[in-house]
């Protein structure tokens, strides 16, 4: 039996823990990312490694402290350095003297054999029947989808809440229910109860909140520690935020299926080639947000992330052509919450002034 750890990214760890346990492994869930996690990662990472690299390295080291002997990671293709994360993390951890095994999943549409080899090792096919493996994986997928849907709903409700913080408290209750769910039936019941809990939050439906779309690199968009919980922060400031990246959507679009084509088509007038990471998606999604009537866009990017730097260079043209303000936030270990809060407040003031001006013109 392997003692397996995996990356912490949003709420997905809840489902991944269940999958590992159903496959007969001991799941070693790392602590939620913290200042200590980041400090560990910064200490042992190359200086110009990006923020996700550093947080993940720190997270793996904390998992090893808890007894993990195997780490599940992912690879990648294209110009983005994320494809080297697993290999580099393994080398650094081995250089630190830890005898830890890495199982690295490569994108199946590019490296099918390598991905299947990693999958075969993880599912422990010699000891688990294919029926058991299928049940573990499909139940895990249902769990992930439910977690994503509940989180989406929380972000839809938060800007309307009357008592600041009520939605966040309700969402925490929902996560506890989801942690207890084990079977598909239990997951469905937990999801129904979670929706009920969130919809019981007292709201003011007469509000007309600003709408901001979030774009950027997947890890810093999804993981609250990396982005200072920006969606909760904006929601509690009365702003409706939506993002195009959730674990299940990204997995569906980037594994066996060729997804996100509509976003790439939207980007073509400005960027028509692959630049790695989520660069082209950031451009295309900004175009779509503008066409859907959003008030503004916030781009979240790790400092030194080349795909997002390229996208940032293109976004001013998109912003001008489609009349949608864009704010870029580069994140690293030096970024402070107070500074980000100030920038968000200024951006919101700008968006409100723009919306008020448009109303006066059409009055």
| pLDDT at residue number 288 | 98
Q: Is the pLDDT of residue 332 over 90?
A: yes
| pLDDT at residue number 191 | 98
Q: Are 153 and 198 in contact, with CB atoms under 8 Å apart?
A: yes
Q: What is the phi/psi pair of residue 14, to 5°? A: -60, -45
**145 and 278 fall within a common domain:** no
Which of 180, 207, 234 is the C-terminal boundary of a domain?
A: 207
**166 and 190 fall within a common domain:** yes
Q: What is the pLDDT of residues 61-74, one digit of tens each?
A: 999 999 999 999 88
Q: What is the pLDDT of residues 134-150, one digit of tens each?
A: 999 999 999 999 999 99
DSSP for residue 255: T
**40 and 66 fall within a common domain:** yes
**32 and 171 fall within a common domain:** no
Residue 84: which pLDDT band, with cuts at 50, 70 and 90? confident
Domain that holds residue 273: 209-363
What long-range pairs does 37-40 form, CB within 8 A, spacing at least 24?
37/62, 37/225, 38/225, 38/333
How many structural domains comprise the chain? Answer: 3
Residue 147 tokens read as 């977690």
**233 and 361 fall within a common domain:** yes
Pairing of strands 101-105, 296-302: unpaired
Residue 173: which pLDDT band, with cuts at 50, 70 and 90? very high
Residue 363: which pLDDT band, with cuts at 50, 70 and 90? low
Q: Is the pLDDT of residue 77 over 70?
A: no
Residue entry with tokens 């950027």:
216
Q: Is the pLDDT of residue 257 over 70?
A: no
Q: What's the mean per-residue pLDDT of the chain?
A: 93
Q: What is the CATH number of the domain that holds 113?
A: 3.40.50
**255 and 344 fall within a common domain:** yes
Q: Is the pLDDT of residue 256 over 70?
A: no
**160 and 215 fall within a common domain:** no
- CA distances for 199 relative to 137, 147, 185, 215, 285, angstroms: 30, 16, 21, 27, 29
Q: Is 216 helix (H, G, I), strand (E, B) or coil?
A: strand
**84 and 198 fall within a common domain:** no
**196 and 239 fall within a common domain:** no
**66 and 137 fall within a common domain:** no
| pLDDT at residue number 359 | 82
* Stretch 111-122: mean pLDDT: 82
- The pLDDT > 70 percentage for the chain reads 97
Please report the DSSP string for 101-170 in residue order: EEEEEPPTTT-HHHHHHHHHHHHTTTTS-HHHHHHHHHHHHHHHHHHHHHHHHHHHHGGGBSSTTHHHHH
Q: What is the pLDDT of residues 101-115, one digit of tens each?
A: 999 887 777 777 888
| pLDDT at residue number 78 | 65
Question: CA-CA distance, 360 to 8, in Å (whole number)?
Answer: 47
Question: CA-CA distance, 88 to 335, in Å (whole number)?
Answer: 24
Residue 83: which pLDDT band, with cuts at 50, 70 and 90? confident
Which of 109, 128, 147 is the C-terminal boundary of a domain?
A: 128
| pLDDT at residue number 200 | 98
Other C-beta atoms within 10 Å of 200: how many?
11
**13 and 45 fall within a common domain:** yes
CA 263 to chain centre: 18
| Of the candidate ranges 112-121, 224-233, 321-330, the one whose mean pLDDT is the lowest | 112-121
**18 and 120 fall within a common domain:** yes
Q: What is the CATH number of the domain that holds 252?
A: 3.40.50.11900
């Amino acid at each position: 039996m392997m003692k397996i750890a995996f990356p912490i990214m949003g709420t997905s760890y809840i489902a991944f823990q269940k999958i590992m346990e159903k496959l007969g492994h001991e799941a070693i869930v790392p602590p939620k990312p913290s200042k200590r996690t980041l400090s560990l990662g910064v200490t042992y990472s190359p200086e110009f490694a990006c923020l996700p690299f550093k947080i993940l390295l720190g997270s793996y080291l904390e998992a090893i402290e808890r007894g993990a002997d195997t780490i599940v990671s992912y690879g990648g293709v294209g110009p983005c350095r994320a494809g080297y994360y697993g290999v580099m993390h393994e080398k650094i951890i081995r250089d630190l003297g830890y005898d830890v095994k890495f199982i690295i999943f490569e994108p199946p549409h590019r490296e099918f054999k390598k991905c299947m080899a990693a999958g075969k090792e993880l599912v422990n096919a010699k000891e688990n029947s294919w029926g058991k493996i299928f049940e573990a994986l499909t139940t895990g997928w249902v769990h992930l989808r439910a977690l994503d849907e509940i989180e989406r709903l929380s972000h839809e409700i938060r800007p309307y809440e009357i008592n600041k913080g009520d939605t966040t408290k309700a969402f925490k209750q929902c996560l506890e229910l989801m942690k207890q769910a084990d079977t598909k039936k239990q997951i469905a019941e937990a999801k129904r109860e979670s929706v009920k809990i969130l919809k019981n939050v007292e709201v003011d439906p007469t509000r007309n909140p600003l709408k901001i779309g979030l774009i950027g690199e997947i890890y810093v968009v999804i993981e609250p520690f990396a982005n200072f919980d920006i969606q909760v922060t904006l929601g509690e400031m009365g702003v409706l935020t939506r993002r195009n990246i959730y674990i299940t959507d990204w997995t569906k679009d980037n594994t066996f299926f060729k997804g996100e084509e509509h976003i790439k088509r939207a980007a073509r007038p400005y960027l028509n080639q692959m630049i790695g990471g989520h660069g082209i998606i950031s451009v295309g999604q900004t175009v779509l947000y503008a066409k859907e009537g959003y008030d503004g866009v916030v781009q979240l990017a790790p400092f030194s992330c080349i795909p997002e730097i390229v996208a940032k260079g293109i976004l001013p043209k998109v912003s001008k052509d489609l009349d949608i303000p864009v704010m870029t936030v580069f994140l690293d270990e030096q970024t402070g919450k107070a500074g980000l809060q100030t920038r968000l407040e200024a951006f919101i003031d700008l968006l409100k002034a723009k919306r008020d001006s448009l109303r006066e013109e059409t009055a």
